[in-house]
Amino acid sequence: LRGDHGVENVLVAAWMEANKGARRGSYIWGRSVHNVRIERLWVDVTAQFGRKWADFFTQLEIYHGLDVNNTYHLWLLHYLFLSDINADCRFFAEAWNRHKIKNKGQPARSPEDMFFFDMITNGVRGDTLVSGEIESYGIDWEAMPASQSRNDEPLRHTSWVGHTGPPPNLNGVTVEPPSDSGLSDRDIDELYLFITPLLSSFDDQSKAARWDWALAFSRSRSALY
**Percent above pLDDT 70 for the chain:** 67
At 102-137, the pLDDT tens digits run 877 888 889 888 888 777 776 666 555 555 555 566
At 33-72, the pLDDT tens digits run 555 567 778 889 999 999 999 999 999 999 999 999 999 9
CA–CA distance from 22 to each of 58, 101, 163 (Å)? 42, 33, 10
Euclidean distance between CA atoms 3 and 97, whole angstroms: 20
3-state DSSP call for residue 103?
A: strand
- Global pTM reads 0.64
* Residue 68, domain extent: 2-221
Q: How confident is the model at residue 160 (pLDDT cuts 50, 70, 90)?
A: very low
Euclidean distance between CA atoms 74 and 108, whole angstroms: 43
Euclidean distance between CA atoms 1 and 13, whole angstroms: 8
- pLDDT, residue 13, reads 80
Question: Considering its fold, how many domains does the chain have in total?
Answer: 1
Angle, vertex CA 160, rays to CA 156 and CA 165, nearest 5: 120
* Residue ranges in the chain assigned as alpha helix (H): 10-20, 36-45, 51-63, 71-98, 111-122, 131-136, 144-150, 185-195, 204-221
Burial class (CB in 10 A: 0-12, 13-18, 19+), 175: exposed
Contacts with 32 (C-beta within 8 Å, 6 or more apart), sequence order: 4, 39, 147, 151
3-state DSSP call for residue 110?
A: coil
At 174-184, the pLDDT tens digits run 767 788 999 99
